[in-house]
Structure 1
């Protein structure tokens, strides 16, 4: 009736066949290859980075086991000072780690592990002093206030780190953050703390 009749000589392929053909064309499209290869190339890097960060937790476990033994050998105050230097001083090197890829991951993991040892040891030694100095009736409130202050400032630091990183770069942001951590430990390195032989001396 004036319209063109469909071509009966070329049957229309089924919907499933057309869908498979479209998928194959997308897979063979050269414009999609670089994007897919970049995603695949970042997976090993992410795995190495995660392993390097987990080294900090392993170091903290080792430090918690060694803290009191270190105090018996060096004296309580000197062991506490050494633990603080490890946990807050070593991260200063994070902004200056050379290399890329595997080399960077190994160095990052080593720093994280050693700093974690200091952190685990310092936590054990500091909690012991607090439990001896603070009356039992106030332990829960003091620990709650300590945790609130410690973890309450984390969102503020995260926001400031994001601003610094986007403005000056990640290296500068890491340098400023680790410098702040190191400075926060200075009040605990006074002579009265460093010369402690046992935590009982503090309680007395």
Structure 2
């Protein structure tokens, strides 16, 4: 998000107040995502909903480096990007988190959750350093393109798995063997 803030404030010239409003719209998208994910899973299945969320979270972010022109056009692109990305990230968090809990034996759940959080939060400083380095070397807009395209490729990690075909969560493994 730091690169986003840098780009929006320096390249697009949005005031701190407008930037806060744009980020707030993302929060509204996240609330909506939390409200509708359960219904989407019941209607379409867990796998298809995971698949959609892996597209819906990063794909709208292409609007950020595309944003330009008059302020209302820029704001429209940024509002759409943040709202839809917020919706998608909440859908990912709910569906993938549910899959993780259902597919992980109870005796391993704390370790798996800890490992996931370590990777998720641990990679962020590395990403920030890489983003800053690329932003300084290539410019902020090209770096945003790289980050967005890179995020979209996350979809290719789940396509060859059984996840996209899942209708329901797998039954939890309650075995006590360890």
8 Å Cα contact 2:103/2:171 also seen in 1: no
Aligned residue number for residue 21 of structure 2:
51
Aligned residue number for residue 58 of structure 2:
88
Question: Separation in 2 of the partners of 1:183 and 1:202?
Answer: 29
TM-score by length of 2: 0.82
- Which residue, 39, 55, 67 being the options, matches 2:37? 67
8 Å Cα contact 2:102/2:169 also seen in 1: yes
Within 5 Å, which residues of 2 pair with 1:125-144?
125-144=95-114
8 Å Cα contact 1:132/1:200 also seen in 2: yes
Show CA shifts across 1:110-160 (max 9, x none).
Answer: 111011111111211111111111111221111111011011111111111
- Answering whether residue 158 of structure 2 is matched by residue 193 of structure 1, we say no
8 Å Cα contact 2:60/2:80 also seen in 1: no
TM-score by length of 1: 0.72
CA RMSD of superposed structures (Å): 1.9
Q: Report the structure number with the largest CA radius of gyration.
A: 1
- Which residue, 89, 92, 101 being the options, matches 2:71? 101
1:84, distance to aligned residue in structure 2 (A)? 1.3
8 Å Cα contact 2:33/2:86 also seen in 1: yes
Question: Separation in 2 of the partners of 1:116 and 1:182?
Answer: 15
Question: Separation in 2 of the partners of 1:202 and 1:184?
Answer: 26
Question: Separation in 2 of the partners of 1:81 and 1:100?
Answer: 34
Q: Which runs of 4+ in 1 moved over 4 A?
A: none
1:201, distance to aligned residue in structure 2 (A)? 6.6
- Which residue, 118, 134, 137 being the options, matches 1:167? 137
1:85, distance to aligned residue in structure 2 (A)? 0.8
1:105, distance to aligned residue in structure 2 (A)? 2.2
1:67, distance to aligned residue in structure 2 (A)? 0.9
Structure 2: 5+ residue stretches without partners:
1-12, 174-178
- Assess, with a 3 A threshold, how the Cα gap between structure 1 residues 202 and 86 changes in structure 2: closer, same or farther: farther
Q: For 1:200, what is the secondary structure of its paired residue? A: coil
